[in-house]
Amino acid sequence: MSPFVFDKASILERLGGDEEIFVMMVDMFLQDVDRNCQSLREALGDEAAVLQREAHTIKALLATFSDNAGAELAQTLELRAKTGELADAPARVDVLLARVAEVADVLRRLSVG
């Protein structure tokens, strides 16, 4: 998978060019990312519906920052959880978590800098 490229122009375009909302979104993402990852990890031991929902949440988070590749990973996991194909779920969760961590890193550097 290609590395996450931070495409501020595309994100801003979706937010109507509003820097203020953009900054707010980055802050929210960083604030919640650990909790979201924790929930996704725990969902592996729960019902498929829970895993489906947590994957869905992550999908929305990544899509907010125009990470199409990451959002696609989350969506695949979400759909497989929905149809009950859970054999490779732990592996998929690991990949997704790594991707979220990568995005978070980029955003963190950005917000510090």
Residues lying near other proteins in the complex (CB under 8 A): 14-16, 18, 20-21, 24-25, 28-29, 32, 53, 56-57, 59-61, 63-64, 66, 75
Nearer to other proteins, 5 or 60 (CB): 60
- Tell me the C-alpha to C-alpha distance, in Å, between residue 40 and each of 2, 3, 36, 47, 111: 22, 21, 6, 12, 25
Question: What single letter denotes the amino acid at residue 92?
Answer: R
Token code pair at residue 104: 């978070």
Q: How far is the CB of 60 from other proteins (least distance, A)?
A: 5
Helices (H), 46-113: 48-64, 68-83, 89-112
Q: How far is the CB of 94 from other proteins (least distance, A)?
A: 22
Nearer to other proteins, 43 or 93 (CB): 43
Nearer to other proteins, 32 or 42 (CB): 32
Rg (CA), the chain: 14
Nearer to other proteins, 65 or 92 (CB): 65
Residue 4 contacts residue 73 (beta carbons within 8 Å)? no
Q: How far is the CB of 20 from other proteins (least distance, A)?
A: 8
Question: What single letter denotes the amino acid at residue 113?
Answer: G
Q: How far is the CB of 95 from other proteins (least distance, A)?
A: 20
